[in-house]
Structure 1
Amino acid sequence: MSKEQKCPECKGKGVIPCPVEYGGEEHDEGCPVCRGDRSTRVTCPDCEGKGKMNPDMH
């Protein structure tokens, strides 16, 4: 059994910036997830918000 490692997607934080591909790099208020708020974070889908993951299971 291998040791859990820091999630490479969220860098161990458990959250990521808005993951939706919406328009350009800057999202506007029309984005259904962040509504243009750059501080919005969502649960990391790779580690389910834990910040760590078992590399053998991913």
Structure 2
Amino acid sequence: MGSAALQCGQSSVEYGVVCAALAFALGVGMLDDSSVLRELLNAFQLAYQKFSFAISLPI
């Protein structure tokens, strides 16, 4: 088999660990409304509202 077979799937594990660490770091201070993760979620929500409004306009 070789070393290539042993490393198969390693990048997905590393990606999962990095994403979990990032989510934990952003979510640590989610107790109040001024946390980074809460602000990010609010920005995504506002951007989606603007996008869906623009899509619904007639041509």
TM-score category, normalised to shorter length: under 0.3
Question: Under a length normalisation based on structure 1, what TM-score does the superposition of the two structures give?
Answer: 0.25
Question: Under a length normalisation based on structure 2, what TM-score does the superposition of the two structures give?
Answer: 0.25
Looking at secondary structure, tell me which structure has more helix per residue.
Answer: 2
Larger radius of gyration: 2
Structure with greater contact order relative to length (CA < 8 Å, sep ≥ 6): 1
